[in-house]
């Protein structure tokens, strides 16, 4: 079913060709996927499809004992995997790249079914997994091969720096990107020689399980990726208690708890957390390009994207023409449950998320904000749909002013000068992503350095940094710790080991030299090395 923002809705899709019906008629397929979960409790939990509310799967629930079992299995497998030559480990990722692209229709159906996305937004996940697998598969030696460092004495002190795998990496992935946030953080961990114990979110586990199955099809040896399932406070906590490193994506509130628990065990953690991301439309922006980009940046995945825009700051000189263009494009968005590329925006994930969106909008409306367009739930399209919504007149004291909505809601503000815009963009505690629209790329890049955000896109909303997998991605301030992608995205799963081999001269006085004479000689050497510009 699809609809624009008006009251009319298109008729339902043909149920004979509806992937929901197809999967519902093949429970054995889903059951085989759920059998990968490590569980001995005998308990089950049912997930539901956002488009319809119908059951997706009955999933076996794991216990802390099951998590410990999964980690033990992973450790055994990891010991052998770490000895596999790096180029052979890389081949698994390169084969996964091909498998994901070949089986994308199945993946897209599963993502839509389980997460309620429009298909074009589901495709972003398939593309990102393929990009990540290809990138790390082709750059494995650059990141992981031992490198020579500078020793104290030229030619006499050799230093090798090795990258040693952590061991077992725990991954706790979110529901909003159930494929790429499940796999893309784990691929560099595997390449570095680690094993993975993974808890996908309880609302979207089957997509992650399908991704794990595809890893096996790409040649990943058994037991290297161990899925567990259950409540985060129980299963997630047990993972942190047993692994050697934890990678978490989710809310800032939960991330703080993950960080505290990891610190108590002295294990490393990377945390990608919340955001209240700003977009700046400068006076010289291409307004059609900015309006189109703002729609994608605000409403992709129904705004349920950590790097999506929730605040637009528009220069006074272009505010009115920008708003005309932006509003028209928002009103043209097609809400859809179709399993094809005809829809522009899908569903929210849950009743709780819908309630949050409704609460934020109604609170703003009651306190004087203006709903320019949208502002309504759309049960005629699906039980959890909400219109893409544009607000003006939002001010401090309104819930959506500073709190993350994580839905299809954006607040628009005017600004008179760029310093003021930058200050307002930096306001608050978050610092995940930002966007700047300007015809002057150099000026945009200069302004980007003033924004306290881990990623900044110039003339794009989020996709440029998200898809540039050679560059690090993560948050500043309350938006997280550590980085995914690029060198940092794989080095976080390793420990740096320095090995120094000393030739000829020992690191002590020789030939009867006194300690004082040795100190003077070393002092002269250090002065000489500085003149030679040696570090």
DSSP 37-96: S---S--EEEEE-TTT--EEEEEEPP-HHHHHHHHHHHHHHHHHHTTS-HHHHHHHHHHH
pLDDT at 359 over 70: yes
Of 295, 308, 313, nearest to 430 by C-alpha is 308
Query: Are both 301 and 244 inside the same structural domain?
Result: no
- What DSSP assignment string belongs to 316-366? GGGHHHHHHHHHHHHHT--EE--SSTT-SB---S-HHHHHHHHHHHHHHHH
Query: Are both 226 and 283 inside the same structural domain?
Result: no
pLDDT at residue number 9: 39
What's the pLDDT band for 74 if we cut at 50, 70, 90?
very high
Query: Can you tell me the mean pLDDT for 128-157?
Result: 91
Query: Are both 285 and 398 inside the same structural domain?
Result: yes
Indicate whether 214 belongs to any domain.
yes
Per the model's pLDDT, the better-predicted residue between 405 and 1 turns out to be 405
Indicate whether 31 belongs to any domain.
no
Query: Are both 309 and 210 inside the same structural domain?
Result: no
- Over the stretch 221-264, which tens digit does the pLDDT of each residue have? 999 999 999 999 999 999 999 999 999 999 999 999 999 999 99
- Which residues neighbour 495 within 8 Å (Cβ) at sequence distance 6 or greater? 163, 164, 165, 166
3-state SS assignment for residue 488? helix
Indicate whether 119 belongs to any domain.
yes
Range of 227's domain? 36-273
Indicate whether 168 belongs to any domain.
yes
pLDDT at residue number 24: 46
pLDDT at residue number 20: 54
Query: Are both 59 and 207 inside the same structural domain?
Result: yes
Number of domains in the chain: 3
Q: What percent of the chain has pLDDT over 90?
A: 85
Query: Can you tell me the mean pLDDT for 433-449?
Result: 95
Query: Are both 246 and 338 inside the same structural domain?
Result: no
Query: Can you tell me the mean pLDDT for 101-114?
Result: 94
- Terminal Cα-to-Cα distance of the chain (whole angstroms): 65
Indicate whether 23 belongs to any domain.
no
Query: Are both 204 and 339 inside the same structural domain?
Result: no
Query: Are both 262 and 381 inside the same structural domain?
Result: no
Query: Can you tell me the mean pLDDT for 290-315?
Result: 96
Residue 424 and residue 414 in contact, taking contact as beta carbons nearer than 8 Å: no
Which string of b and e fits 383-419 if b means at least 16 CB within 10 Å?
Answer: bbbbbbbbbbbbeeebbbbbebbbbbbbbbbbbeebe
- The CATH number assigned to the domain holding 409 equals 3.40.309.10
pLDDT at residue number 163: 96
Q: State the Cα–Cα distance between residues 81 and 493, nearest whole angstrom.
A: 15
Residue 180, phi-psi category: left (phi > 0), alpha (psi -120 to 50), beta (remainder): alpha
Question: How far is C-alpha 103 from the chain's CA centre?
Answer: 22
Q: Which of 252, 273, 294 is where one domain is finished?
A: 273
Indicate whether 526 belongs to any domain.
yes
Query: Are both 184 and 327 inside the same structural domain?
Result: no
- Over the stretch 172-226, which tens digit does the pLDDT of each residue have? 999 999 999 999 999 999 999 999 999 999 999 999 999 999 999 999 999 999 9
Beta strands 309-315 and 409-415 are parallel
Query: Are both 413 and 359 inside the same structural domain?
Result: yes
> Which 8-state DSSP code applies to residue 17?
G
pLDDT at residue number 23: 53
Return the number of other C-beta atoms located less than 10 Å from residue 379's C-beta.
Answer: 11
Q: Which of 427, 447, 474 is where one domain is finished?
A: 474
Catalytic residue IDs: 272, 306
- What DSSP assignment string belongs to 297-323? HHHGGGG--TT-EEEEEEEGGGHHHHH
Q: State the Cα–Cα distance between residues 205 and 55, nearest whole angstrom.
A: 13
The pTM assigned to this predicted structure is 0.91
- The mean pLDDT of the chain is 92
- The CATH number assigned to the domain holding 62 equals 3.40.605.10
What's the pLDDT band for 506 if we cut at 50, 70, 90?
confident
Surface-to-core class of residue 488, CB atoms within 10 Å of its CB (0-12 exposed, 13-18 middle, 19+ buried): middle
- Over the stretch 6-31, which tens digit does the pLDDT of each residue have? 433 333 444 444 555 555 447 788 88
Question: How far is C-alpha 41 from the chain's CA centre?
Answer: 31
Indicate whether 18 belongs to any domain.
no
314 φ/ψ angles, rounded to the nearest 5 degrees: -120, 130
Query: Are both 46 and 195 inside the same structural domain?
Result: yes
State the sign of the Cα–Cα–Cα–Cα dihedral 524, 528, 533, 535.
negative
Q: State the Cα–Cα distance between residues 406 and 260, nearest whole angstrom.
A: 25
Reading the block at residue 307, the tokens are 């790097």
Q: Which of 273, 293, 319 is where one domain is finished?
A: 273
Q: State the Cα–Cα distance between residues 466 and 27, nearest whole angstrom.
A: 35
Indicate whether 459 belongs to any domain.
yes
- Which residues neighbour 245 within 8 Å (Cβ) at sequence distance 6 or greater? 166, 167, 168, 169, 170, 189, 194, 267, 268, 269, 492, 493
Residue 462 and residue 297 in contact, taking contact as beta carbons nearer than 8 Å: yes
Query: Are both 468 and 427 inside the same structural domain?
Result: yes
């Amino acid at each position: 079913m699809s609809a624009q923002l008006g009251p009319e809705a298109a008729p339902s899709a043909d149920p004979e060709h509806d992937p929901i019906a197809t999967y519902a008629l093949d429970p054995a397929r889903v059951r085989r996927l759920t059998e990968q979960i490590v569980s001995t409790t005998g308990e089950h939990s049912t997930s539901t499809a956002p488009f319809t509310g119908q059951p997706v799967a009955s999933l076996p629930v794991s216990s802390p004992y099951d998590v410990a079992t999964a980690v033990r299995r992973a450790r055994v497998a990891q010991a052998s995997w770490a000895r596999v030559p790096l180029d052979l480990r890389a081949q698994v990722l390169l084969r996964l790249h091909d498998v994901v692209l070949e089986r994308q229709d199945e993946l897209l159906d599963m993502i839509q079914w389980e997460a309620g996305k429009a298909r074009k937004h589901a495709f972003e996940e398939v593309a990102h997994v393929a990009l990540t697998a290809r990138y790390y598969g082709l750059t494995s030696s650059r990141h992981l091969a031992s490198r020579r460092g500078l020793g104290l004495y030229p030619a006499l002190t050799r230093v090798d720096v090795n990258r040693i795998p952590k061991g077992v990496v725990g991954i706790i992935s979110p529901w909003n990107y159930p494929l790429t946030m499940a796999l893309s953080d784990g691929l560099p961990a595997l390449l570095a020689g680690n094993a993975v114990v993974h808890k996908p979110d309880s609302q979207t586990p089957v997509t992650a399980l399908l991704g794990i199955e595809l890893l096996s099809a790409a040649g990943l040896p058994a037991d290297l990726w161990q899925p567990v399932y259950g409540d985060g406070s129980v299963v997630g906590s047990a993972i942190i208690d047993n692994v050697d490193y934890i990678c978490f994506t989710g809310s800032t509130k939960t991330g703080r708890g993950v960080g505290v628990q990891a610190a108590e065990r002295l294990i490393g953690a990377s945390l990608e957390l919340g955001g209240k991301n700003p977009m700046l439309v400068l006076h010289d922006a291409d307004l059609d390009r900015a309006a189109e980009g703002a729609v994608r940046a605000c409403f992709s995945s129904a705004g349920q994207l950590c790097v999506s825009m929730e605040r637009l700051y528009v220069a006074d000189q272009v505010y009115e023409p920008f708003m005309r263009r932006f509003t028209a494009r928002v009103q043209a968005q097609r809400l859809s449950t179709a399993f094809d590329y005809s829809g522009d925006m899908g569903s929210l994930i849950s009743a709780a998320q819908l309630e949050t969106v409704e609460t934020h909008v109604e609170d703003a409306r009651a306190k004087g904000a203006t709903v320019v367009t949208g502002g309504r739930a759309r049960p005629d399209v699906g039980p959890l749909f909400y219109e893409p919504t544009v607000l003006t007149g939002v001010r401090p004291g309104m819930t959506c002013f500073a709190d993350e909505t994580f839905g299809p809601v954006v607040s628009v503000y005017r600004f008179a000068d760029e310093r003021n815009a930058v200050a307002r963009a930096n306001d608050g505690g978050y610092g995940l992503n930002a966007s700047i629209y300007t015809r002057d790329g150099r000026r945009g890049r200069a302004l980007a350095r003033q924004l306290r955000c881990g990623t900044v896109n110039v003339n794009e909303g989020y996709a440029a940094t998200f898809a540039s997998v050679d560059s690090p991605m993560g948050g500043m301030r309350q938006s997280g710790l550590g980085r995914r992608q690029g060198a940092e995205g794989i080095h976080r799963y390793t420990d740096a080991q320095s090995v120094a081999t000393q030739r000829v001269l020992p690191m002590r006085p020789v030939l009867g030299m006194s300690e004082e004479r040795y100190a003077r000689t070393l002092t002269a050497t250090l002065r000489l090395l500085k003149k030679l510009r040696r570090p």
